[in-house]
Structure 1
């Protein structure tokens, strides 16, 4: 019988992780969780000031962190950030593709500009960042990409047609990239996140009727806490997931099981 402590499989000491949308909500919780698992976390956000503030807060808690300004809808900026990060840290081990936006409108009145904003960030931004990161990871022979998708990759949602479409696309991007890159040492997986207490669900949580109706479909009976996503991200980023490729892991309080 092996005497190796299985907890070592989740140790990310010495790894470098870039987390997008890391200044608040799920991204902030994930960045903190990866740092606690031992990784040096590169906090990426559209606002350099917010990213630097978040990195400083993580370091104050004893983590290793740094900050970069990154708008994922600008591929040239992503290319520069990845090159700079790789040079500074001698590679990149983990990308958490978390940056995302949502726009709520009835489908029949959904504005074209709102549609494009959601798709540009959640699909184009996520893919082109994964593509650039994939090139780097393929060259070094290893790497982990974790895309933050949604339970709406499986089902529709009221007034969020663009968001649902974008998360369905991200799930398929995950599977396609895993099919191409698994045998070359790069793991690509996704998390189908349920309804968490973040800015994206603020409108839902502020509406008692809608909140009750939604939670009636969640077996856990409540919104998730951002830190409850951390375990799944650490798992997919670690040696514990060495034979996991192209998975869409539900962290949703049982939503997809009901």
Structure 2
């Protein structure tokens, strides 16, 4: 095989041997999908979360001799914790190649329409409009400022503090590796892209802010620092996680959405699978020419739904 052909081989393009990665919310759901993907590609992966027992369970179940998942408990909603985690990785590894900010929470629900409602009852074409006073009353009853504060702290603010805490370590990894630029990746949501609230205005607003913050951080890193660090986002659609699924398996730390597969109102006609998130994550991690982008991975939902 010639050198040029070897460089185009999948095993070369997505080889992460020797790379160090850290994923918040890495013990369950999308974060666990990403952690297993990167470890199978050769990276040493630290999984971060508030629940040490969940991290330990995932590390026990999914680590392999040459593909370890390393539990690292931490609460990324606190600035001091982001700095502590960065200091811990600095002491252990001296650098970081891949940082994925995946941790997130749902927040308060509210009255409204949702074109993706599997039952069809919340679809705007199938429900009567509410009197405006009733709608406003319900919205105010469903939402409190403290709920929004907690939601934005985890889903949005943490991206900024986490990225800034780890930026010097990401820059160091780029300096140490010829032909590689380290990467910070946010996991937002198509809920931050759609016009509809999907019955959770607060969550969608937090993810819209998170998506935009990804671009802001990317611009500032490129324009205001000497760091060679790529900043991108993945905006998933419906994937099984402890936020979206009712059938959570505490023995495997995994979930499924089998009961919703025939009814999902998206072109793919099914939820996302582990393989879908794996391929998307590897693409964003490995593509050295991708920077400042937020990429929807949603089975075509944003193609057909407002």
TM-score (norm. length: structure 2): 0.76
Aligned length: 252
Is residue 284 of structure 2 the alignment partner of residue 243 of structure 1?
Answer: no
Deviation, 1:74, is: 1.3
Aligned match of 1:82 in 58, 82, 86? 86
The RMSD of aligned alpha carbons is: 2.3
Contact 1:25 1:226 in 2 (8 A): no
Separation of aligned partners in 2, 1:223 and 1:58? 22
Contact 2:98 2:170 in 1 (8 A): no
Is residue 185 of structure 2 the alignment partner of residue 146 of structure 1?
Answer: yes
Separation of aligned partners in 1, 2:244 and 2:53? 24
Is residue 115 of structure 2 the alignment partner of residue 66 of structure 1?
Answer: no
| DSSP 3-state at the match of 1:4 | helix
Contact 2:24 2:48 in 1 (8 A): yes
Which stretches of structure 1, 4 residues or more, deviate above 3 A after TM superposition? Answer: 138-142, 203-206, 211-214
Unaligned runs of 5+ in 2: 111-138, 176-180, 248-255
**Cα deviations by residue, 1:67-125 (Å, 9 ceiling, x for unpaired):** 11111111111211111112211211101100000024214331222212211100112
Name the residue aligned to 1:194. 237
Separation of aligned partners in 1, 2:263 and 2:186? 24
Contact 2:107 2:147 in 1 (8 A): yes
Aligned match of 1:111 in 122, 140, 144? 144
Contact 1:17 1:41 in 2 (8 A): yes
- Structure having the higher helix fraction is 1
Contact 1:13 1:39 in 2 (8 A): yes
| DSSP 3-state at the match of 2:243 | helix
Contact 1:148 1:190 in 2 (8 A): yes
Larger radius of gyration: 2
Contact 2:94 2:169 in 1 (8 A): no
Unaligned runs of 5+ in 1: none
